[in-house]
């Protein structure tokens, strides 16, 4: 599987978000710092979803706003592309 440098950057941010949120899920909005333009994030998330790496969940609304959750589905890709 091939990933673009931007997909890898967002994937790293997703892994950090997932860890911060208990490993079961992450928040897409936590990954904004991985892209130079906010409009890029949606495209990268869609691409990672299409490749079967993540699953995007329904938005969740809390008293602090509405957030889009994701779940990492393919951890082998994480281990291949995210070296820590």
Q: What CATH number has the domain bearing residue 70?
A: 1.10.10.10
Beta bridge partners of 69: 27
Please give the pLDDT value at position 13.
92
Q: Is the pLDDT of residue 49 over 80?
A: yes
Percent of the chain scoring above 90 in pLDDT: 55
Top-confidence residue, 71 or 82:
71
Domain residue limits at 24: 5-81
Tokens 């091939």 -> residue: 2
More reliable by pLDDT, 61 or 84: 61
pLDDT at 84: 59
Q: The whole model's pTM is what? A: 0.85
Q: What is the number of structural domains in the chain?
A: 1
């Amino acid at each position: 599987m091939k990933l673009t440098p931007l997909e890898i950057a967002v994937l790293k941010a997703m892994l950090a978000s997932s860890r911060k949120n208990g490993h079961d899920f992450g928040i897409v909005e936590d990954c904004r710092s991985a892209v130079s333009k906010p409009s890029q994030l949606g495209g990268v998330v869609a691409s990672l979803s299409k490749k079967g790496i993540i699953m995007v969940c329904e938005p969740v609304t809390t008293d602090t706003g509405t957030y889009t959750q994701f779940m990492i589905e393919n951890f082998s890709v994480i281990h291949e592309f995210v070296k820590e």
